[in-house]
């Protein structure tokens, strides 16, 4: 391998790291929109990028599904009492949001270091791979 080929490989690796990091940041800010775009348009470039793009998509879609569940729970409880609905659904939603944020930030840090991070199966549904 020549020095020029090594520099091109390093630049490609840096672009993959940047794209993976961008996918996690997009998941934190906009939900599943940015990670799905990164997965759809860039995941064929490398196994590293595909792994992190799929992880960001899975985490953000799982968080969206949990949010829908919290809305359903809050809606059903609101039929009885708004106070009970807010007292139950809001803490559950905040706990789910905080745990998803924790794993998204861990994935972001691992991607920025060029490492893989395995999200626990109990918190994340594997929708794409």
User: What's the pLDDT score for residue 10?
Assistant: 65
Of 126 and 7, the structure prediction assigns the larger pLDDT to 126
Domain ranges in the chain? 3-113
Distance CA 129, CA 54 (A): 6
Identify the band that residue 98 occupies on the pLDDT scale cut at 50, 70 and 90: very high
Asked whether the beta carbons of 24 and 56 are under 8 A apart, the reply is yes
Distance CA 127, CA 116 (A): 18
User: What's the pLDDT score for residue 1?
Assistant: 53
pLDDT tens profile 42-90: 888 889 999 999 999 999 999 999 999 999 999 999 999 999 999 999 9
Distance CA 98, CA 81 (A): 26
User: What's the pLDDT score for residue 129?
Assistant: 85
């Amino acid at each position: 391998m020549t020095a020029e080929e090594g520099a091109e490989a390093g630049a490609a690796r840096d672009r993959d790291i940047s794209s993976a990091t961008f996918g996690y940041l997009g998941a934190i800010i906009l939900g599943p929109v940015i990670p799905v775009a990164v997965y759809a348009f860039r995941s064929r470039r490398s196994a590293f990028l595909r792994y992190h793009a799929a992880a960001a998509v899975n985490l953000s879609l799982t968080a969206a599904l949990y949010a829908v569940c919290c809305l359903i729970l809050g809606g059903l409880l609101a039929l009885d009492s708004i106070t009970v609905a807010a007292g139950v659904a809001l803490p559950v939603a905040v706990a789910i949001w905080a745990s998803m944020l924790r794993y998204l930030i861990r994935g972001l840090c691992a991607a920025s270091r060029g490492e893989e991070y395995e999200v626990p199966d109990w918190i994340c549904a594997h929708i794409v791979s």
